[in-house]
C-alpha cells in the first residue's frame, strides 16, 4: 500500500528524489522547502527553490516556513498525518515534535559514509580531504546532527579528477533510487537500522569564502583536491597578470602533473603550475564575468607564459 509521505528538501540535489517518490506511486500531501530567496543581478527578484518548482509542476502543496520551532507550524505538520517524512538537503532544523509526528518517523538521505562527514558540505569535504570513496546513506533522523541509525548505503568511488559537481550529480541520482527502495522496504515492514559507529566521526562544515583562495605552497595533491572539491561552486581561485593587470581566475578542473619550481610559478605553455611539492596542470578555468573554458581555449585569448606566476 502506498505511503503518505511529507517531502522536505530545497536544492537541485533533492529534486530527483522528490520526482522518484512521486513516480513510485506514493502520496505526497505536502512538500516543505526553504522560502524563495532574493536573486537576480540586483537581488530584487524572489526565486523559488528547485524543489518548490518541481513540487508545483507535480501539483503538490508547497509549504515554506522560516522555522519549524513554533507550535502553529508543528501543529500544521502533525495535521498532515504522514506515514513518514523524507528529508534531503532541506536546510532547517527539525525539532523533536516534528521528528516524532510521522507514524514511521523521518528518514534522511545523506551524501556521505556516516559517521564520516556529518553536516552541511559532505561532498565538498570528502574530495578536499582526498577521500577515495563516498556514498549515499538513508538514516533515521534524531535530534543530533546526522547521528541516527543507518538503514541503507550505496558506496561510490571518487575518481582522481572528479569534481564536487560531478559527484553531486552522481549522488543525487543514487540517492533517489535508494530512498525509493527504502520506502518499498518500509511498506513491507522490512527496513532495518544499524547504529552508527562511535569512531571515525568527522564534520563537514559549511564552505567559507575565506578558504577558497588557492595556497600554492601546499603539495600538489592538496592543491588539486582543493580545486576539484570546490568546483564548480563556490570555486577555488587565484590571481595572475593578464593584459598588464592582475585578474582573478576561478579554477574549475586540474590534474596532477610533472614539474617543480617556485610555488605558483607557471612552468610551460599548458598552464602547468608549480606547487609546494610537485605540480598540477589547470584543465578548465573561468575569467570573471566569463564562461568556463578549457585551458587551451582560454590561452588563445590570454597571454600567460612560462615564468609568470599565480598568487
Residue ranges of the binding site for (6S)-5,6,7,8-tetrahydrofolate: 112-115
DSSP assignment, residue 24? Answer: T
For residues 69 and 60, give the distance between their C-alpha atoms in angstroms, rounded to a whole number.
23
Contacts of 104 (CB under 8 A, 6+ apart): 3, 83, 84, 186
The answer to whether 157 touches 249, Cβ cutoff 8 Å, is no
The answer to whether 141 touches 148, Cβ cutoff 8 Å, is yes
Contacts of 108 (CB under 8 A, 6+ apart): 86, 87, 88, 138, 139, 140, 141, 146, 148
Q: Which residues are annotated as a binding site?
A: 112-115
Q: Classify 228 as helix, strand or coil.
A: helix
For residues 218 and 41, give the distance between their C-alpha atoms in angstroms, rounded to a whole number.
35
Residue 224 CB-density burial (10 A; 0-12 exposed, 13-18 middle, 19+ buried):
buried
Q: Of the candidates 281, 295, 115, 263, which has an alpha carbon nearest to the alpha carbon of residue 200? A: 115
Residue 291 CB-density burial (10 A; 0-12 exposed, 13-18 middle, 19+ buried):
exposed
Contacts of 45 (CB under 8 A, 6+ apart): 38, 39
For residues 269 and 165, give the distance between their C-alpha atoms in angstroms, rounded to a whole number.
27
Amino acid at each position: 500500500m502506498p505511503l503518505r509521505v511529507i517531502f522536505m528538501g530545497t536544492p537541485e540535489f533533492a529534486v530527483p528524489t522528490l520526482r522518484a517518490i512521486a513516480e513510485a506511486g506514493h502520496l505526497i500531501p505536502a512538500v516543505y522547502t526553504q522560502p524563495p530567496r532574493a536573486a537576480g543581478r540586483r537581488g530584487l527578484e524572489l526565486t523559488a527553490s528547485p524543489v518548490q518548482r518541481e513540487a508545483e509542476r507535480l501539483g503538490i502543496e508547497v509549504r515554506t516556513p522560516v522555522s519549524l520551532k513554533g507550535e502553529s507550524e508543528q501543529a500544521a505538520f502533525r495535521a498532515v498525518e504522514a506515514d513518514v517524512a523524507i528529508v534531503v538537503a532541506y536546510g532547517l532544523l527539525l525539532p523533536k515534535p516534528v521528528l516524532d509526528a510521522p507514524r514511521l518517523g523521518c528518514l534522511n538521505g545523506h551524501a556521505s559514509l556516516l559517521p564520516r562527514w556529518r553536516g552541511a558540505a559532505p561532498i565538498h569535504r570528502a574530495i578536499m580531504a582526498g577521500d577515495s570513496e563516498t556514498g549515499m546513506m538513508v538514516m533515521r533522523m534524531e535530534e543530533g546532527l546526522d547521528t541516527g541509525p543507518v538503514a541503507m548505503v550505496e558506496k561510490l568511488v571518487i575518481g582522481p579528477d572528479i569534481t564536487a559537481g560531478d559527484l553531486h550529480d552522481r549522488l543525487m541520482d543514487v540517492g533517489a533510487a535508494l530512498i525509493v527502495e527504502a520506502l518499498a522496504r518500509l511498506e513491507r515492514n522490512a527496513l532495518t537500522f544499524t547504529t552508527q559507529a562511535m569512531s571515525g566521526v568527522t564534520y563537514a562544515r559549511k564552505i567559507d569564502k575565506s578558504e577558497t583562495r588557492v595556497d600554492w605552497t601546499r603539495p600538489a595533491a592538496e592543491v588539486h583536491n582543493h580545486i576539484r572539491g570546490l568546483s564548480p561552486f563556490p570555486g577555488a581561485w587565484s590571481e595572475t597578470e593578464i593584459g598588464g593587470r592582475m585578474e582573478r581566475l576561478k579554477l574549475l578542473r586540474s590534474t596532477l602533473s610533472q614539474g617543480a619550481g617556485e610555488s605558483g610559478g607557471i612552468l610551460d605553455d599548458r598552464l602547468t603550475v608549480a606547487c609546494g611539492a610537485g605540480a598540477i596542470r589547470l584543465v578548465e578555468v573561468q575569467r570573471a564575468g566569463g564562461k568556463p573554458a578549457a585551458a587551451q581555449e582560454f590561452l588563445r585569448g590570454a597571454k600567460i607564459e612560462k615564468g609568470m606566476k599565480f598568487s
